[in-house]
A and B are shown apart, each in its own frame.
Chain A
Amino acid sequence: MAPDTPLPETPEPGVSEIERYLAAQQSKSLLRFITCGSVDDGKSTLIGRLLYDSKMLFEDQLATLEADSRKVGTQGGDLDFALLVDGLSAEREQGITIDVAYRFFNTDRRKFIVADTPGHEQYTRNMVTGASTADLAIILIDARKGVLPQTRRHSFLVSLLGIRKIVLAVNKMDLMGYDQAVFDRVVAEYRAFARQLDLTDIQAIPLSALKGDNVTTLTDAMPWYQGPTLIGHLETVEVADLRASQPFRLPVQWVNRPNLDFRGYAGTIAAGTVRPGDRIRVLPSGQESRVARIVTHDGDLPLAVAGQSVTLTLTDEIDISRGDILSTLDEAAEAADQMEATLVWMSEAPLLPGRPYILKLGTKSVPATVATLKHKINVNTLEQLATKTLGLNEVGLATLSLDQAIAFDVYRNNRDTGGFILIDRLTNETVAAGLIRSAIVRTVPWQVLDVDRRARSQMKGQRPRVLWFTGLSGAGKSTIANLVEKKLHAHGRHTMLLDGDNVRHGLNRDLGFTDADRVENIRRVAEVSKLMVDAGLIVLVSFISPYRAERRMARELLGPGEFLEVFVDTPLAVAEGRDVKGLYAKARAGKIPNFTGIDSPYEPPESPDVRIDTQAMTAEQAANHIFTLLSRFDEDADLVDGAAI
């Protein structure tokens, strides 16, 4: 609908009651909030109580609640309000919340969407999911227990995500004799912690979610409390949406081309307003144009504002695609390929610096690596600690480097253009939430070299590439790679062999065999190979390189056809049986930790360019096979681009 959908400004005679009722509904504001805090503090009970007391339940739902409370409730047959919200069978069996529940209710003054989040540390990422779209957070504290580590963790995340309005609900006052001293003590303790997080807009309310005290009506049990009820506060608290007054941003979501005469850029306005005639800048390209029309199904609009999903046409034919951001001319979005960001890690598998992940921001997806981890944060003390990785639910500050420049804002200014997720390329899991703090402008531009790779390879008369041998320790990689190199050399090719053992003695002397070090090991070798390919060489890399992700990274560093993966396929039992260097025996005896195949995984290639079955052929045969294939690859490539080898 257009924002100027005609609704009656004043009731005209003859307008039905329902129409007026609907108009009143439409003018109600919406508040999105979450409940959070430590395990068992009563979050779900409180939401259930809110739904119950605001008469949001139907008779059949009440009947179900009564039956469920008798069957699986925690209140000895009395109504267990948490069961209204904990809807998964696993949650009801265990009496805990596992994932966010979204519930909807409204009062005469406002509409509410509430996300009830889990208190268990294990499910923190689900709490973050709920918090990411909230305007306000109710932080619950069990009056008996005071501020707990999870209270601090959740408060920290709430502050990080930019939620500024806090309700501190001191719950279970019924179990502490409704004692004011208890309430005052908890509030003082919490405020002291919250100050360090810049959380200052705090309304503290003493409650009993179970009994309903101060939820929708003020209780007689705590006459010393003079403040509002919870619902009274939620109905009136001001949450300003500042997005409409910020500079215009539209992340292009979809290019709409129904026919040759129409080219529209569809997207949801992330900030500001736009009118036909407005001058805009496209980022990251920097091109300028002017808005021609704001097209919607309901007709063209004279004005569109933050939050609306629209389609714009421009006065110029310029190249714009999904992921670009249209913005105001003067206060344009940032564009960079490096940035500093806070990461909230959400995967069981730890962050590996150097490993390429997919970064999705707005409508743009681009490969990105964590270049450096500056520190991680102890959520209890807020101390900054040095670290090489982030584990599940850890928060740290990192610099990221992207495959290409993208457009964005800092998160503080806009969560839709400043927040991103990282996606693992193999599992497709969402592994992290990221909040951009600043762009890092590259100070040293790439040198444009006149003598380039092409010039160098032409002089050598060969097509430079990498032959990447992967396989278990003792599979025969080095033996075969050596033979291939000899053959190439005999045919006048310029080659270089990088062997795991050699490189680990020099360049990678500082690395061990942890997951993170293995990734770094391969990253360096891949980068060195790339430099050598730039130098025009045929590079033979002989590394166990156990992880697909890193081999893929190496492949992507190089140009198409420049990376050939050779899988030296020897089953573990056979390699271990041969045990040329006696390493397997040592590993089995526990003398070498993290040994590939024994206590560290090997991920075989899914579709190698060449597969060598060492049980079916000798090393000499394998080398011949590879050499022949290589010549054929070169011929094919020559056919494609006509380059001389």
Chain B
Amino acid sequence: MTDRVIDVKDAAVLDSIIQPPSPLPVSLAGPLSAPRLTHLQRLEAESIHILREVVAETQNPVMLYSIGKDSAVMLHLAMKAFYPAKPPFPLLHVDTTWKFREMIAFRDQRAVDLGLDLLVYTNPEGLARGIGPFTHGSAIHTQVMKTEALKQALDRYGFDAAFGGARRDEEKSRAKERIFSFRNEQHRWDPKNQRPELWQLYNARKNKGESIRVFPLSNWTELDIWEYIYLENIPIVPLYFAAERPVVERDGALIMVDDDRLPMKPGETPQMRRVRFRTLGCYPLTGAIDSDADSLPAIIREMLLARTSERQGRVIDRDGGASMEQKKQEGYF
């Protein structure tokens, strides 16, 4: 679930709410000798603590970098956690070959700018068999090019801990997941048998063949992410900002024509629309929304008015109630 801060019918009501009549009760730089930490400062400190704990307690960690806004925040936190050192682990991107081109360009630029190791992995069998969302359907595509590929990559490099940018507010089974989440040899999650996780104490000891998924952003909400990106000035993929883009409308979703692999249906022609994305993934599986929000304040404003959750734009979440839990049990991140 994503925070809806205010129940509003339209932007006018929002505007009246966000213009408080009296001076703001900002107490950050107040006279107190020991300043109270803000909500985001607390979240930031918790995430940094988690990142450091994994580095101290595991042999070969990796950060799964999916290029989206949550990954952007997680990477930013990693830069902070180990400063002045660089994060002592590589980034891993599982490339399905169907990501937006702007994502790939952004990914490569970030790695260069920050001077980090970036590993890009694609499932070779999937590639050889030509697996794609149109020829094989979204379920098989996701299974082979994402879930299987991730398992292969983790096994191949022998990573024993992988950071992921998932948040508990995203989905009802995520809300149940520990920060340190264990996977057996087959990378399966056992939701009914999670380790107790007390205070800030994480038990990172694993049995033979087990690996750990660690979610440093567990307690962040979508709104927190945007506020933080704004306050910290974190670079994000331009696709999050509204612009004129070629799209086709399918089953109620706006699919961007990112390259010539998108097969046109009879009578279908791409039209230019002013759209942006709330989440990013494989372009044929990610719906855009009509929007004019071309700056961070505008995005945040739009979010506060949103009537649907960010997951709605994801085509893979729609099949059935326990679907995400099931995917996770099968090794989906």
Does B bind A? yes
A interface residues (Cβ-Cβ under 8 A, vs B): 1, 3-11, 16-30, 51, 55-61, 64, 68, 71, 84-85, 87-90, 92, 98-106, 111, 113, 125-126, 128-129, 132-133, 241, 244-245, 253-254, 256-258, 262, 264, 266-268, 273, 295-298, 303, 305-309, 311, 322, 346, 358, 360-363, 415-416, 419-421, 423, 427-430, 433
Given A4-B35, A17-B18, A429-B195, check contact A58 B1 (CB 8 Å).
yes
User: Which residues of B lie under 8 Å from residue A268 when comparing CB positions?
Assistant: 45, 48-49, 200
User: Which residues of B lie under 8 Å from residue A258 when comparing CB positions?
Assistant: 84-86
What is the minimal beta-carbon distance from B177 to any residue of chain A, in angstroms?
A: 9
Query: How far apart are the CA atoms of A55 and B9 in the complex, in Å?
Result: 12
Q: Which residues of B in the span 1-59 have a Cβ within 8 Å of any Cβ on A?
A: 1-7, 15, 18-20, 23-29, 33-42, 44-46, 48-49, 52-53, 55-56
User: Which residues of A lie under 8 Å from residue B3 when comparing CB positions?
Assistant: 56, 104-106
Q: Which residues of B in the span 127-158 have a Cβ within 8 Å of any Cβ on A?
A: none
User: Which residues of B lie under 8 Å from residue A126 when comparing CB positions?
Assistant: 194, 196
Query: How far apart are the CA atoms of A28 and B311 in the complex, in Å?
Result: 27
Scoring A7, A257, A415 by chain B CB atoms within 10 A of each residue's CB, the highest score goes to A7
* Cβ 8 A contact of A427, one of B26, B44, B56, B207: B207
B95 within 8 A of A: no
Q: Which residues of B in the span 265-317 have a Cβ within 8 Å of any Cβ on A?
A: 297-298, 300-301, 304, 306-309, 311-312
Can you show 25 pairs from A to B with CB atoms below 8 A apart? A3-B28, A3-B37, A6-B29, A9-B24, A9-B29, A10-B24, A19-B297, A20-B20, A22-B230, A24-B24, A25-B223, A26-B28, A60-B312, A87-B171, A87-B172, A106-B5, A113-B219, A264-B84, A296-B80, A297-B79, A305-B37, A306-B34, A416-B199, A420-B201, A433-B198
User: Which residues of A lie under 8 Å from residue B15 when comparing CB positions?
Assistant: 17
Scoring A5, A10, A71, A89 by chain B CB atoms within 10 A of each residue's CB, the highest score goes to A89
Tell me if A11 and B4 are in contact (CB < 8 A).
no
Across the A-B interface, the 7 shortest Cβ-Cβ residue pairs: A87-B172, A55-B7, A18-B297, A258-B85, A89-B322, A309-B48, A21-B18
What is the minimal beta-carbon distance from B304 to any residue of chain A, in angstroms?
A: 8
Query: How far apart are the CA atoms of A258 and B195 in the complex, in Å?
Result: 34
Q: Which residue of B lies closest to A311 (CB)?
A: B83
Q: Which residue of A lies closest to B86 (CB)?
A: A258
Tell me if A253 and B49 are in contact (CB < 8 A).
yes
Given A11-B24, A258-B86, A420-B201, check contact A22 B300 (CB 8 Å).
yes
Q: Which residue of A lies closest to B210 (CB)?
A: A428
Tell me if B28 and A27 are in contact (CB < 8 A).
yes
Tell me if B39 and A28 are in contact (CB < 8 A).
yes
What is the minimal beta-carbon distance from A606 to any residue of chain B, in angstroms?
A: 10
User: Which residues of B lie under 8 Å from residue A87 when comparing CB positions?
Assistant: 171-176, 325
Given A58-B308, A262-B84, A421-B201, check contact A102 B300 (CB 8 Å).
no
14 A-B pairs besides A18-B297, A30-B42 with CB distance below 8 A are A6-B29, A7-B26, A23-B24, A51-B1, A89-B321, A132-B198, A253-B56, A254-B56, A254-B82, A256-B85, A295-B84, A427-B207, A430-B197, A433-B198
B169 within 8 A of A: yes
What is the minimal beta-carbon distance from B5 to any residue of chain A, in angstroms?
A: 6
B60 within 8 A of A: no
Given A27-B25, A100-B176, check contact A423 B56 (CB 8 Å).
no
Query: How far apart are the CA atoms of A169 and B60 in the complex, in Å?
Result: 47
User: Which residues of B lie under 8 Å from residue A88 when comparing CB positions?
Assistant: 173, 176, 191-192, 322, 325
What is the minimal beta-carbon distance from A23 to any residue of chain B, in angstroms?
A: 5
B227 within 8 A of A: yes
* Cβ 8 A contact of B221, one of A22, A57, A104: A104
Query: How far apart are the CA atoms of A59 and B44 in the complex, in Å?
Result: 30
B105 within 8 A of A: no
Q: Which residues of B in the span 77-127 have a Cβ within 8 Å of any Cβ on A?
A: 79-86
Q: Which residue of B lies closest to A100 (CB)?
A: B176
What is the minimal beta-carbon distance from A260 to any residue of chain B, in angstroms?
A: 13
Count contacts between A and B, CB distance < 8 Å.
267
Scoring B7, B197, B301, B322 by chain A CB atoms within 10 A of each residue's CB, the highest score goes to B197
Query: How far apart are the CA atoms of A59 and B309 in the complex, in Å?
Result: 8
Tell me if A104 and B173 are in contact (CB < 8 A).
no
Tell me if A102 and B168 are in contact (CB < 8 A).
yes
Tell me if B85 and A3 are in contact (CB < 8 A).
no
Given A23-B24, A27-B27, A88-B192, check contact A104 B49 (CB 8 Å).
no
Tell me if B4 and A27 are in contact (CB < 8 A).
no
User: Which residues of A lie under 8 Å from residue B304 when comparing CB positions?
Assistant: 21
Q: Which residue of A lies closest to B194 (CB)?
A: A99
Query: How far apart are the CA atoms of A255 and B27 in the complex, in Å?
Result: 33
User: Which residues of B lie under 8 Å from residue A105 when comparing CB positions?
Assistant: 3
What is the minimal beta-carbon distance from A3 to any residue of chain B, in angstroms?
A: 4
Given A9-B26, A129-B196, A297-B83, check contact A111 B48 (CB 8 Å).
no
Tell me if B168 and A104 are in contact (CB < 8 A).
yes
Query: How far apart are the CA atoms of A358 and B312 in the complex, in Å?
Result: 44
* Cβ 8 A contact of B20, one of A24, A29, A264, A295: A24
B319 within 8 A of A: no
What is the minimal beta-carbon distance from B253 to any residue of chain A, in angstroms?
A: 13
Tell me if B175 and A101 are in contact (CB < 8 A).
yes
User: Which residues of A lie under 8 Å from residue B82 when comparing CB positions?
Assistant: 254, 256, 266
Query: How far apart are the CA atoms of A264 and B85 in the complex, in Å?
Result: 10
Tell me if B176 and A17 are in contact (CB < 8 A).
no
User: Which residues of B lie under 8 Å from residue A22 when comparing CB positions?
Assistant: 227, 230-231, 300
Given A17-B18, A17-B19, check contact A23 B26 (CB 8 Å).
yes
Given A55-B7, A104-B1, A125-B196, check contact A428 B205 (CB 8 Å).
yes
Q: Which residue of B lies closest to A126 (CB)?
A: B196
B259 within 8 A of A: no
B218 within 8 A of A: yes
Tell me if A55 and B4 are in contact (CB < 8 A).
yes
What is the minimal beta-carbon distance from A430 to any residue of chain B, in angstroms?
A: 5
User: Which residues of B lie under 8 Å from residue A16 when comparing CB positions?
Assistant: 297
Tell me if B203 and A428 are in contact (CB < 8 A).
yes
Given A4-B29, A58-B2, A102-B175, check contact A253 B53 (CB 8 Å).
yes
Given A17-B15, A89-B321, check contact A1 B203 (CB 8 Å).
no
What is the minimal beta-carbon distance from A391 to any residue of chain B, in angstroms?
A: 16
Query: How far apart are the CA atoms of A42 and B13 in the complex, in Å?
Result: 35
Given A26-B39, A28-B39, A428-B207, check contact A4 B28 (CB 8 Å).
yes
User: Which residues of A lie under 8 Å from residue B34 when comparing CB positions?
Assistant: 244-245, 273, 303, 305-306
What is the minimal beta-carbon distance from B278 to any residue of chain A, in angstroms?
A: 12
Given A24-B20, A25-B39, A104-B221, check contact A415 B199 (CB 8 Å).
yes
Q: Which residue of B lies closest to A26 (CB)?
A: B38
User: Which residues of A lie under 8 Å from residue B300 when comparing CB positions?
Assistant: 18, 21-22
Query: Chain B, 204-237, contact with A by CB distance < 8 Å: what is the 0/1 string?
Result: 0111000000000011010100010011100000
Query: How far apart are the CA atoms of A167 and B83 in the complex, in Å?
Result: 43
What is the minimal beta-carbon distance from A595 to any residue of chain B, in angstroms?
A: 29
User: Which residues of A lie under 8 Å from residue B306 when comparing CB positions?
Assistant: 58
User: Which residues of A lie under 8 Å from residue B309 when comparing CB positions?
Assistant: 58, 60-61
Query: How far apart are the CA atoms of A383 and B264 in the complex, in Å?
Result: 75
User: Which residues of A lie under 8 Å from residue B81 when comparing CB positions?
Assistant: 266, 309
Tell me if B24 and A99 are in contact (CB < 8 A).
no
What is the minimal beta-carbon distance from A248 to any residue of chain B, in angstroms?
A: 11
Scoring A8, A90, A254, A298 by chain B CB atoms within 10 A of each residue's CB, the highest score goes to A254
User: Which residues of A lie under 8 Å from residue B231 when comparing CB positions?
Assistant: 1, 5, 22
Scoring B46, B172, B174, B231 by chain A CB atoms within 10 A of each residue's CB, the highest score goes to B172
What is the minimal beta-carbon distance from B205 to any residue of chain A, in angstroms?
A: 4
Tell me if A295 and B35 are in contact (CB < 8 A).
no
What is the minimal beta-carbon distance from B184 to any residue of chain A, in angstroms?
A: 13
What is the minimal beta-carbon distance from A122 to any residue of chain B, in angstroms?
A: 11
User: Which residues of B lie under 8 Å from residue A303 when comparing CB positions?
Assistant: 34-35
User: Which residues of B lie under 8 Å from residue A68 when comparing CB positions?
Assistant: 321
User: Which residues of B lie under 8 Å from residue A262 when comparing CB positions?
Assistant: 84
Q: Which residue of A lies closest to B79 (CB)?
A: A297
Tell me if B203 and A423 are in contact (CB < 8 A).
yes
Tell me if A101 and B176 are in contact (CB < 8 A).
yes
